[in-house]
């Protein structure tokens, strides 16, 4: 009986997860995801800068934050349009 319950649980989980995985595979955006990861790493490093460098560090932080927003918007657009 326990084996049957386990099989039902696994089957149900697979039925729920596989279509979602398939959809994600179709809408995979590896370059955008990689870009987002790298921008987030750059943002993290820029947060550690202790000197403003005549305003350039603050400007860089702002530009990286804007770039992150644009990449996120691009990913959302791609997902919504099956890209």
Segments of the chain with pLDDT less than 70 = 1-27
Measure the CA–CA gap between 83 and 13, rounded to whole angstroms. 26
The predicted pLDDT at position 22 comes to 41
The predicted pLDDT at position 28 comes to 85
Nearest CA to 81 out of 29, 30, 31 is that of 29
The predicted pLDDT at position 83 comes to 86
Sign of CA dihedral 55, 61, 66, 67: positive
- Integer-rounded Cα Rg, in Å, for the chain is 21
The predicted pLDDT at position 21 comes to 46
pLDDT in tens, 4-27: 555 555 555 555 554 554 445 445
Residue 50 main-chain phi, psi, to 5 deg: -95, -25
Would the pTM count as exceeding 0.75? no
């Amino acid at each position: 009986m326990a084996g049957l319950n386990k099989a039902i649980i696994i089957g149900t989980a697979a039925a729920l997860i596989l279509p979602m995985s398939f959809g994600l595979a179709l809408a995979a955006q590896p370059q955008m995801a990689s870009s987002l990861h790298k921008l987030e790493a750059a943002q993290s490093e820029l947060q550690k800068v202790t000197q403003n460098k005549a305003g350039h560090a603050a400007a860089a932080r702002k530009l990286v934050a804007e770039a992150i927003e644009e990449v996120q918007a691009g990913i959302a657009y791609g997902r919504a349009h099956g890209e």
